[in-house]
Amino acid sequence: MDLALTPAQAAFRDEVRAFLGEALPDHLRRGAGLTSGVFAEPDIAREWQAILEAQGWLVYHWPRAAGGPGWTPIQRWIFEKECAEAGTPVLPFMGLKLIGPVLCHFGTEAQKAEYLPKLRSGEHFWAQGFSEPGSGSDLASLRTRAVRDGDVYVVTGQKIWTTQAQFANRLFCLVRTDPEAKPQRGISFLLIDMASPGVTVRPILSASGDHELNEVFLDDARVPVANRVGDEGQGWTIAKFLLDNERGGSAFGPQLVADLARLRAAAGAFEGELAPRATRLALEAEALEMTELRTLIEVEAGLQPGPRSLITKLVASEIRQGIDELAVDAFGLAALQLPVERPFYRSDMPAPVGSPDARIAAARYLNSRAWSIFGGTSEIQLTVIAKQAVGL
């Protein structure tokens, strides 16, 4: 297998690199570098989203018919690697990567016409309403009820860990429409306007000081039947399609390689026991990058990706946490000066005093504990690997 880029792929990489060199403003790069959460804050994300949309590269994982640029999987990977190296803001993917492709695939023409342009323009900001108290790993046990009343569903229940719901004006949601059916068969997929009466968002503050997560309460919220995606009872099939996009297809390796290089540049030479830890993490991140690339080469060749594609999220979580732990140890006491005011990374605010990398390290360390939980916990990933890859 040849892991070198073809001349056409190298030309594409150069085009992307030149664009990022021109189009990524310093304040967005700085804001991205000072983000401790998974996604950039909306003021940063919106600006970067508009720049990518103007270039025609925003919805690069959508089908060409829906406005995607028609890139191959390897072109998408090259784009993500270049973005990671340039330090672009990480855009919230609930809209662009999760509900967008779902609507392209399962939406009615009316839903596509209503939602896709507003998603691209940023008018609609989406949150993901899947998890509930008691229904995370065991998602099929979810209890939020949707009862049909003429042209609407009356929705009652609670969602939790809803990322950036405080900024969202739309929620895609799994609800139980048939409590008598088998758990998976009784679930439907609804699009909810967050401004509907009966929808309440309450913050959950993380140990890192970030406000990324929320509870969403639905109390007799009335949702038009026209906002159901797919048939009644098809929600689980749609959720599986969406979760495959959430868990796979991301270039984790390049982001980790780039973040470790930035840490090395900011923290100086790693000394003592930090040096072998840094080397090990660098090798693991590069190995993950190669694993992802090999999988994509197989996909482009029309082959089924092998079982190694199952390990990427698990391995990426371990490396992510290792890098953020290394950062805290490398910066030492400087990492413990959590900024008094948060968020301090907004583009309209002055840079924090002292090394920004050191000031963000502790928040990042605390925040990245979540990597082994969201998008499927590491224990669940290990079970899937044991069953599907090892055949246990």
Ligand X SMILES: Cc1cc2nc3c(=O)[nH]c(=O)nc-3n(C[C@H](O)[C@H](O)[C@H](O)COP(=O)(O)OP(=O)(O)OC[C@H]3O[C@@H](n4cnc5c(N)ncnc54)[C@H](O)[C@@H]3O)c2cc1C
Residues that bind ligand X (CB under 6 A): 128-131, 136-137, 161-163, 213, 370, 373-374, 377, 379-380, 383
Name which of 36 and 131 has its Cβ closer to ligand X. Answer: 131
Residue type, 262: R
Using CA atoms, how far apart are residues 126 and 45, in angstroms rounded to an integer?
A: 13
CA dihedral 69, 71, 73, 74 (to 10 degrees): -130
Question: Closest distance between ligand X and the C-beta of residue 383, in Å?
Answer: 6
Q: Which residue is nearest to ligand X (CB)?
A: 136
Using CA atoms, how far apart are residues 222 and 332, in angstroms rounded to an integer?
A: 52
CB 83 within 8 A of CB 32: no
Using CA atoms, how far apart are residues 216 and 163, in angstroms rounded to an integer?
A: 10
- Single out the catalytic residue among 41, 212, 246, 289: 246
Using CA atoms, how far apart are residues 129 and 125, in angstroms rounded to an integer?
A: 13
Name which of 140 and 373 has its Cβ closer to ligand X. Answer: 373
- The upper half-sphere exposure of residue 358, i.e. CA atoms within 13 Å in the direction of its Cβ, equals 15
Q: What tokens does 385 get?
A: 């690997």
CB 32 within 8 A of CB 24: no
Question: Closest distance between ligand X and the C-beta of residue 239, in Å?
Answer: 10
Question: Closest distance between ligand X and the C-beta of residue 51, in Å?
Answer: 25
Question: Closest distance between ligand X and the C-beta of residue 53, in Å?
Answer: 23
Using CA atoms, how far apart are residues 144 and 157, in angstroms rounded to an integer?
A: 4
| Spatial CB neighbours of 113, under 8 Å, sequence gap ≥ 6 | none
Name which of 78 and 362 has its Cβ closer to ligand X. Answer: 362
Question: Closest distance between ligand X and the C-beta of residue 131, in Å?
Answer: 3
- Among residues 231, 125, 253, the alpha carbon closest in space to that of 178 is found at 231
Q: Which residues of 286-300 are buried (b: 16+ CB within 10 A; e: fewer)?
A: eebbebbbbbbbbbe
Name which of 39 and 71 has its Cβ closer to ligand X. Answer: 39
Question: Closest distance between ligand X and the C-beta of residue 310, in Å?
Answer: 16
Phi-psi group of 157: left, alpha or beta (phi > 0 → left; psi -120 to 50 → alpha; rest → beta): left
The yes-or-no answer on residue 82 being catalytic is no
| Spatial CB neighbours of 51, under 8 Å, sequence gap ≥ 6 | 23, 24
Q: Give the single-character DSSP code of 151.
A: T
Question: Closest distance between ligand X and the C-beta of residue 373, in Å?
Answer: 4
Name which of 77 and 130 has its Cβ closer to ligand X. Answer: 130
Name which of 56 and 133 has its Cβ closer to ligand X. Answer: 133
Name which of 20 and 216 has its Cβ closer to ligand X. Answer: 216
Q: Which residues are known to be catalytic?
A: 246
